[in-house]
Structure 1
Amino acid sequence: MAEAPAYRQPRSSFRIWAMVGLSLLLANCTVVPKGKPGPVAPPPPVEKPDSGTLPSDQARHRVALLVPLTGSNAAVGQSIANAATMALIDTGNKSVRMTTYDTALGAAAAATRALADGNRLFLGPLLSEDAVAIAAAARKAGVPVISYSNDAAVAGNGLFVMGFSPAQSIDRVVHYAKGKGIKRFAALVPSGVYGRNASTAIIRSVESADANLVAMKSYERNAKSLQRAVADLGRSQQGYEGVLIADNARLAISAVPLIRRMSNQQARVLGTELWAAEPSALTSPVLAGAWFASVSDARYRTLATAYRRQFGKAPFRLASLGYDSMLLVVKIARDWKMGERFPADRLRDEDGFVGVDGAFRFGPNGVAQRALEVDEANPAGVRNVSPAPSNFTEQ
């Protein structure tokens, strides 16, 4: 585990800061030195779970950050941890102590240690199976969990899901396309959990948009299976005007030429939130004109610049979840009485919260609802075609 530093709270309130926007804060925060970047700061040290006890601290709320710090997802987990630490610094926090626990050593064991250390809130874990593994113990202890997973199926009963939901991005892009005159949809979905969730989302979104889903085919992630699925789309008796590829942008680059050659030369290509994580792929001429929905990158780019200056490398896109979850905690901590349980009811604020990824709030099912924009892929650079609402009253 590793301790995050605490800093003095600025006089201006967090609510005022959130309204004026992230870019102003980051331009003046201590982690962004002006002029040439200083020496690269090493990541926070990580202690083994059995390495002694935490320092006594009666003046700050204990919050556990549960992310992988070793193993195949270590770089993603460290990026989230670094960004969460930046949020503590940027807000001048003095009421929250964050301790990081390595879930790669076992999520249940990490949660057990975090509970023994007196933490009253869990941020993370990253993976849905890890969230399931820690849910029962956290629930028994009255400790809410704000997971970074995007699997809505694990949400509820004290477990909140903060990850980017494929269902919301699909619904946003389908309704946008319907508003542009597309009434008949087709879809390509990969096998696996993401594909199954996407399939359900596509069916519901097309239905709620009062449009028609004329064909949907699944595939394994290999060339022969993808080609077979595209060919099956072409055999649909009804023509389609839009085709949603529920996979990453690089897979879409392989699929679109097949669609044009074997199935439909004119259909508008649609994507999901996965595309936002691959900006270099979105300049491929193959995807020119394709639409996809995601959170806005405007504030994230400012965060990424500050992160690179502090740590000497670019963050993973999911780092914003670490930053925003800590902003959320610091805000709520203003009314969190010392020694009491984390006030989980505050997470259900209907007005929502503002962070790096724009406006978000937790719905009745515990899944983060987000204000999404629609972007168009283009060789000259991604172009915004439908801005994200700035709050939930605009939706």
Structure 2
Amino acid sequence: MSGYMRVIMLIIKTSVLFSRCYFRHNRGVFMSLFRGFGLVGALFILSACEPPQTAPIVTTPLASDTESSRPSGEATDDATEAAIALLDTTEQVTASEDQSEASTSDESSQEASKLDPSVSYLNQQSDPAATEPNLQVLDQDIFSDTADQGNPLNSLQPKPDDGQNEIDSAIEWIFSGEAEPSQSGATSEDIAEPPFDGNVDGNAITSLIDDGFDYDSLEDVFAIISKPQIENIITSPSSRFPPKQALLTRAAVLLPLSGSYKLVGEELRKAVDMAVISLNRPQFEVIYIDTAEKPEEAAYAAVAADADIIIGPVFSSHTAAVAPIAKEHQIPVLSFSNNSAVTNQNVWIMGQQPEHEMEAVLSYAMASLAAIDQIPAEQARIAIVTNDTAYGRILRDVSINHLKTAGVTQISQLLLNRSVLKNEARLQLSIKQFARWSEEDPTPEFDMVIICGDGDFTLAVAPVLVWHDLDPAKVRFVGSSQWNRIDMITEPSLQGGLYATIPTEKRQLFEKVWKTYFADAPGDLAPLGFDAVAVASLMTADVSVNEVLLRDKGFAGFSGVFRFYPDGNNQRHLEVRQINAYKSAIVSPADTTF
């Protein structure tokens, strides 16, 4: 074959090759084009250099295509087919990789969603299915600041021209130590909490926001962290960290960064990153250590890293495992748990303790029972329906102690275990007998019903209670902060119900700030992550942990006003809310000072 004919054949085969490449729609197309260009280029050079009248030349094809040498005629045809076959193979491999990655992602998501409710509720973390990012606890159309207010977010809705300024000024006030700017027409519910004390630079937050950064993902956040002035977030897959610099406070943040609870850890890590960047304290840094496998090893890694304080872990079981190691090495622990059983003089808990929720809501409920219904405590008939779990029993015990202290003597109890809850007939019969219901006299036997359990338990028993004439229109229903969910507020059988929770206004403000950093919505634990860093960052070489944590006036953060006790427990000012007309409104605002 002449040189011209060989060139024509090469052009035809090249066209076929490019046509095949054009219709590839996965990531393998780029590699295929690269290899195709290389192969055709090599063949073209060989053809151009070939003497027209000589015998066939032996060539060596690309090593990736074949390992043997062939005569040029065969090599040319086979090499082109090999290139096309290589495109097919690359496409199949890439598609396989895509399917594998998708499968891995699905498995990871399924694994992360298998949270144990009995553990989760003790540690401020409900079932992920109930706390999907799209089903937020704080919904602008459902929550309102007052029962009489027409617009739920009147006090927080930004004006069209100064919405960002509202966020900036609010953040600057909280962490700068300055007084909050007064607002015209402010009510008692608009009075904000006192700021954090200490040398916290709130201007760092507003400067980042004013620079116009749009934080859509952690990659964007880490791009900011890479700037010279923010070098105080350290990550290490092997938990081996550089030596701590002099006069620097290092916080080891212990989170489940892998495994079933990875989603919880990622949420808190975002909150911690946001706090470190926002506060911008050069003398304070954080390191991340994974607690997914063995929390004890995470504690020893914190010791080896010369940490001054441990922030975390999330769960009470992990906190209990870390506590003795931290105490031995004199490292204070600021845990995200809300289980008072793990506290001591070296372990403080950040979580919203269920004991305080019940005390707050029962104080209001008993006062309103006496003032509105003219039923004094000694005449009040109280029913307590309890889920037979650790969380339910904690709520029950606190309720009984509070009621007895208030002078209540008529207390009836019903304990429901898992087997009863799974059997609808048994559940109906148990509640019917407990309510003492009869067709002849449907008058309620109780003035108040306290439901001690999580949200799912409440949704299971509340409709049955109403069916047997324990109607919220006639009986006061009382519950925990688990009722601060959309599915609870829109539940017909809970209309009129009372519960206590952290100030909603602060939570809504936190969500606004969060969205200036991230595209998704924050979970329930995120404000605790931010506030934990804000507290820990007040520690310096000259200020001990006791001086920071045990301040009588406490702290005002995104999770509300709180302070710590020497025994490791905390105290929080909570607001009491009532469910009415499928909305939640404040009936007793949280105190702003201690």
Tell me the equivalent position of 1:184.
381
How much does 1:130 deviate?
0.7
Preserved CA contact (<8 Å) 1:26 1:306: no
The 3-state SS of whatever aligns with 1:388 is coil
Shift of the alpha carbon at 1:343? 2.4
Provide the residue aligned with 2:217 in structure 1. Answer: 40
Q: 1:53 and 1:98, CA in 2 relative to 1: closer, same or farther beyond 3 A?
A: closer
1:7 is matched with which residue?
none
Contact 2:205 2:279 in 1 (8 A): no
Aligned-residue sequence identity (percent) comes to 25
Equivalent positions of 1:324-343 (< 5 A) are 324-330=531-537, 332-333=538-539, 336-337=540-541, 342-343=544-545
Q: Is the 8 A contact 2:561 2:572 kept in 1?
A: yes
- Residue 383 of structure 1 is matched in structure 2 by 585
Match of 1:87 among 275, 278, 283: 275
Matched, 1:295 2:470: no
Of 310, 321, 345, which aligns to 2:517? 310
Output the TM-score relative to the length of structure 1.
0.85
- The amino acid of 2:528's aligned partner reads L
Find out whether 1:267 has 2:475 as its counterpart.
Answer: yes
8 A Cα contact 1:63 1:98, kept in partner: yes
Q: TM-score, normalised by structure 2?
A: 0.58
2:561 partner SS: strand
User: Kindly tell me: are residues 229 and 309 of structure 1, through their superposed partners in 2, closer, same or farther at Cα, counting changes over 3 Å?
Assistant: farther
SS at the partner of 1:181?
A: helix
State whether residues 292 and 374 of structure 1, in contact with CA within 8 Å, keep that contact through their aligned partners in structure 2: yes
Residue 230 (1) aligns with residue 431 (2)? yes
Q: Does 1:201 align with 2:398?
A: yes
Q: Which amino acid aligns with 1:161?
A: I
How far, CA to CA, are the matches of 1:168 and 1:233 in structure 2?
27
Partner of 2:455: 249
- C-alpha distance in 2 between matches for 1:128 and 1:228: 36
Amino acid at match of 1:261: W
Question: CA 1:160 to 1:38, structure 2 compared with 1: closer, same or farther past 3 Å?
Answer: closer
Amino acid at match of 1:271: G
Distance 1:229-1:98 versus aligned 2 partners, 3 A rule: farther
* 1:1-395 alignment runs, 5 A limit: 14-16=176-178, 19=194, 29=206, 32=209, 37=214, 39-42=216-219, 47-50=236-239, 52-54=240-242, 56-181=244-369, 183-221=380-418, 222-224=421-423, 226-227=427-428, 229-235=430-436, 239-262=445-468, 264-265=470-471, 266-276=474-484, 278-330=485-537, 332-333=538-539, 336-337=540-541, 342-392=544-594
Q: Cα 1:36–1:281, aligned 2, differ >3 Å: closer, same or farther?
A: farther
- Taking a change above 3 Å as real, the CA distance of residues 111 and 380 of structure 1, as seen in their structure-2 partners, is same
Q: Which has the higher contact order (CA 8 A, sep 6+)?
A: 1
Counterpart in the other structure of 2:105 = none
Partner of 2:348, secondary structure, is strand
Pair 1:227–1:104, CA change in 2 (3 A): farther
Structure 1 residue 106 displacement after superposition:
1.2
Deviations 1:9-57 (A, max 9, x none): x9x9743378358xxx69963565688955433376963335x432542
User: In 2, are the aligned partners of 1:169 and 1:272 still within 8 Å (CA)?
Assistant: yes
List per-residue Cα deviations over 1:231-278 (Å, max 9, x = no partner): 343149x932111112233432332221012252321111102223x2
Taking the aligned partners of 2:451 and 2:203, their CA distance within structure 1 comes to 36
**Distance in 2, Cα, partners of 1:79 & 1:213:** 44
1:311-353: CA deviation from partner (whole Å, max 9, x where unpaired): 22111111111111111122x32xx216x8x423431111111
Equivalent residues of 1:289, 1:378 under 8 A apart: yes
Task: Tell me how far apart the structure 1 counterparts of residues 589 and 203 of structure 2 sit (CA, whole Å).
Answer: 22
Deviates more, 1:162-171 or 1:297-306: 297-306
What is the CA distance between 1:109 and its match in structure 2? 0.6
Q: Aligned equivalents of 1:161 and 1:38: distance in 2?
A: 30
Aligned residues: 374
Note if contact 1:14-1:91 (Cα within 8 Å) is conserved in structure 2: no
For 1:229 and 1:356, locate their aligned partners in 2 and report how far apart those are by CA, in whole Å.
42
**Which residue of the partner structure matches residue 5 of structure 1?**
none
Amino acid at match of 2:431: V
Sort the Cα spacing of 1:387 and 1:226 in 2 relative to 1 into closer, same or farther, 3 A.
farther
Paired residue secondary structure (1:16): coil
Whether the aligned pair in 2 keeps the contact of 1:76 and 1:319 (CA below 8 Å) is no
Secondary structure at 2:266 match in 1 = helix
Aligned-partner Cα distance in 2 for 1:261–1:138: 52
Assess if the C-alpha contact under 8 Å between 1:347 and 1:361 holds in 2: yes
Alignment partners' CA distance in 2, 1:311 and 1:249: 28
Select the structure of larger CA radius of gyration: 2
* Secondary structure of 1:49 counterpart: coil
Secondary structure of 2:583's partner? coil
Instruction: Classify 1:145/1:35 alpha carbon distance in 2 versus 1 (closer, same or farther; 3 Å).
Output: closer
Equivalent pair of 1:149/1:162 in contact (CA under 8 Å) = yes
User: How far apart, CA to CA, are the structure 2 residues paired with 1:38 and 1:154?
Assistant: 36
Letter of the 1:67 partner, please give it.
Answer: L
Contact 2:384/2:449 (<8 A) preserved: yes
Partners of 1:166 and 1:226 lie apart in 2 by 25
What is the rounded CA distance, in whole Å, between the counterparts of 1:13 and 1:299 in structure 2?
Answer: 13
Tell me if structure 1 keeps the 8 A contact 2:312–2:333: yes
How far apart are the structure 2 equivalents of 1:26 and 1:249?
40
**Residue in 2 aligned with 1:6?**
none
More helix by percentage: 2
Higher strand share: 1
**Distance across 1 between alignment mates of 2:394 and 2:272:** 29
Seen in structure 2, the aligned counterparts of structure 1 residues 36 and 326 have a Cα distance that, compared at 3 Å, is: closer
Q: Is the 8 A contact 2:310 2:333 kept in 1?
A: yes
Unaligned 5+ residue runs, structure 2?
A: 1-171, 180-192, 197-201, 223-233, 371-379, 438-443
SS of equivalent residue, structure 1 residue 101: strand
Identify if the C-alpha distance between structure 1 residues 53 and 40 changes in structure 2 by more than 3 Å, giving closer, same or farther: closer
